[in-house]
Amino acid sequence: MTQRCGFVAIVGRPNVGKSTLMNRILGQKISITSRRPQTTRHQVMGIKTEGEAQFIYVDTPGMHIQTRDRNKAINRFMNQAATQALRDVDCVVFIADRTRWTREDDVVLDKLTHVKAPVILVLNKVDWLENKAELLPWLEQLQAKREFAAILPISAKHGTNVPELEAEVAKYLPEGVHHFPEEQITDRSQRFLAAELVREKVMRQLGDELPYQMTVEIEEFRDEGRVVHISALMLVERAGQKKILIGENGERIKKIGREARLEMEKALGAKVMLNLWVKVKRGWSDDDRALKSLGYDLD
C-alpha cells in the first residue's frame, strides 16, 4: 500500500477546545488545557500513525485581537505562532464554539483567506447545546462565510463525531513517506512537557488571580531510569504575584507541585522528584530577547 503523510493545522480563537481535540485524537495528553483563554502558547505537534497514514497535527495558540492589555511581545508571539502554522499544511481544522461567533472568529477567518489548503470547520461543544434544532440554520449561515471542505459538529471532550472528523482529514493526506517513527507522538521534549504541566496546574488554580505574566523554566531534568529529578523555576513579573503563587505557608505552591508531579509520573512512566521555585523577572512578557531565552522562539 502507498504511504500517506500530511500536516494538519488546528486553529481557532482562544479557549474553543483546540488542545482538547488534539489530545482526544491522540488518545493521550500532549497539549495542556485549562478554562483560561491562551493556555496554549506554542505550536505543539501531535503525531498519529495508523497503518500507512501518518497525521501530523499542529496545535496552535488561540488567534486573538491585540487590544491595549493584550499587546505585549508574548501576545504578538502567540499570534505569529498560530499564523505560521498555516504555511505549507495539507489541511486546516478551524474550530468554533457551537453557535457563538465572535470578532475573534472573524480574525481567524481572515487569516484563512489566502490559505490554499482545504479548511474543515468544526463546531465544538455541541453537547452543551440545549436545543439541537438551532444547529441547522446556523450551519447554513456558516456556509455563506467561505467555501469549507466540510462542516462538522463535534464534542472534543466526549469524542462525539471525532472519528468522522479524522476520516474527513484523511481525504487530504498526500502520498509521501512518513516523517516520524510509528511510535512517536510529538516533536516536543519531555523537558518541554514538564514545564507545560507545571504551567497548566498554575493556570487551573490561579487563572483569575494570576495574570498571564507567568512562565516556567526547567533548570534541571535528570533521568536516572526509575527516578526523574526535575527542578522548575516559575517566573512572574511582580512581588505580589510571587506571594499569590506561593500561598499562605507555602500551601499553594505545594498543591501545584503535587498535582504537576502526579501528571509527570503518568506521562514519563517513572517516579518524579519535583522541586519548584518562584522568581520575579520584571517585564519578561514584553521583552523579545527574554522571550527567546525562555523558549518562545518561532524557529
* Amino acid identity, position 9: A
Residue 126 and residue 160 in contact, taking contact as beta carbons nearer than 8 Å: yes
> 12: exposed, middle or buried (C-beta count within 10 Å: 0-12, 13-18, 19+)?
buried
pLDDT band, very low/low/confident/very high, at 138 (cuts 50, 70, 90) = confident
pLDDT of residue 196 exceeding 80: yes
Which helix (H) or strand (E) is 10 found in, with range?
strand 4-12
Predicted TM-score (pTM) of the model is 0.86
- Determine whether the annotation assigns residue 13 to a binding site: yes
Q: 4-171 in CATH: which number?
A: 3.40.50.300
Least confident of 12-26, 196-210, 247-261: 196-210
- Determine whether the annotation assigns residue 240 to a binding site: no
Closest CA to 19 of 47, 65, 50, 60: 60
- Determine whether the annotation assigns residue 60 to a binding site: yes
Q: Residue 160 carries which DSSP code?
A: B
pLDDT tens for each residue of 76-93 = 777 777 778 788 899 999
- Determine whether the annotation assigns residue 283 to a binding site: no
The phi, psi pair for 57, rounded to 5°, reads: -85, 140
DSSP three-state, residue 26: helix
- Determine whether the annotation assigns residue 255 to a binding site: no
Domain ranges of the chain: 4-171, 190-294
- Determine whether the annotation assigns residue 208 to a binding site: no
- Determine whether the annotation assigns residue 62 to a binding site: yes
Residue 43 and residue 85 in contact, taking contact as beta carbons nearer than 8 Å: yes
Fold of 190-294: GMP Synthetase; Chain A, domain 3 (3.30.300)
Closest CA to 282 of 251, 242, 231: 242
- Determine whether the annotation assigns residue 11 to a binding site: no
Q: What is the pLDDT of residue 96?
A: 92
- Determine whether the annotation assigns residue 19 to a binding site: yes
- Determine whether the annotation assigns residue 281 to a binding site: no
- Determine whether the annotation assigns residue 125 to a binding site: yes
Closest CA to 150 of 89, 91, 83: 91
CB neighbourhood size of 220 (10 A)? 11
